[in-house]
């Protein structure tokens, strides 16, 4: 399984903070395409979002990053701490 997390505005727009998904994807991009099939909101927030930030296992990642069972994949907007 994959542990998928959504933070900040993404959590609110998508209506969830976390979900478990089957580890059926080779890369983050494959996962994103599948999530986008859930509808317009998902498409706009993730797949077509130029500012989408991605982390895999707590490290900064990108759409081409490979993923496997047991990985934690997080999607979030640009950070604004400090």
What x-and-dash track marks residues 16-55 binding other proteins by CB under 8 A? Answer: -----------------------------------x---x
Q: List, in sequence order, every residue forming a beta bridge with 3; answer none if it has no partner.
A: 20, 72
- Which of 15, 22, 39, 78 touches other proteins by CB under 8 A? 78
Question: Which residues in 7-58 belong to E strands, given as ranges?
Answer: 18-21, 53-56
Pairing of strands 2-6, 72-76: parallel
Shortest CB 15 distance to other proteins, Å:
16
- Which of 7, 27, 36, 63 touches other proteins by CB under 8 A? 7
Q: Which is nearer to other proteins, 33 or 49 (CB)?
A: 49
Q: List, in sequence order, every residue forming a beta bridge with 6; answer none if it has no partner.
A: 75
Does 58 contact other proteins by CB under 8 A? yes
Give the Cα separation of 11 and 81 in Å (integer): 17
């Amino acid at each position: 399984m994959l542990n998928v997390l959504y933070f900040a505005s993404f959590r609110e727009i998508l209506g969830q903070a976390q979900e478990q998904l089957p580890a059926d994807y080779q890369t983050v991009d494959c996962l994103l395409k599948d999530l986008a099939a859930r509808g317009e909101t998902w498409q706009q927030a993730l797949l077509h979002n130029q500012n989408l930030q991605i982390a895999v296992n707590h490290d900064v990642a990108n759409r081409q990053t490979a993923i496997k069972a047991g990985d934690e994949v997080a999607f979030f907007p640009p950070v604004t701490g400090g």
